[in-house]
Amino acid sequence: MTNAFVFSPVRQVKQWPATIKVAGDGGKVTEIEIALDLNLLPTDKYMDKLSEGNKALFDAILDGFSGIKTPEGVPLEDTEDNRAALYQHAPFTDALLHAYRAANTGEAARKN
């Protein structure tokens, strides 16, 4: 039996791996693995959200996250305020967009 492509205009992936890269002193970079639940949008809807601004796009593609903690070590809750803070943190948004592109194009998730 061969695999068949099944078209679905609404796609979602759960627990897609993403890597946050945090710069440190002396040019060192720490990589932290997180997981994202992503809504994979049709191209026209993606472009519409992109034209509305970063927050609209990020809210449309991000359905949830795990693996992020507060400075106290408590898992960060998925709230509007916490999302707003994450959206201002370039390492998070870079990880989100890279993971989205990889998931949307079918690029295999990398495992180290």
Q: Digits of tens for pLDDT over the chain (112 positions)?
A: 567 777 777 799 999 999 999 999 999 999 999 999 999 999 999 999 999 999 999 999 999 999 999 999 999 999 999 999 999 999 999 999 999 999 998 876 555 4
Overall pTM surpassing 0.85 (yes/no): yes
In the chain, where the domains are located: 11-105
What is the identity of the amino acid at 64? Answer: G
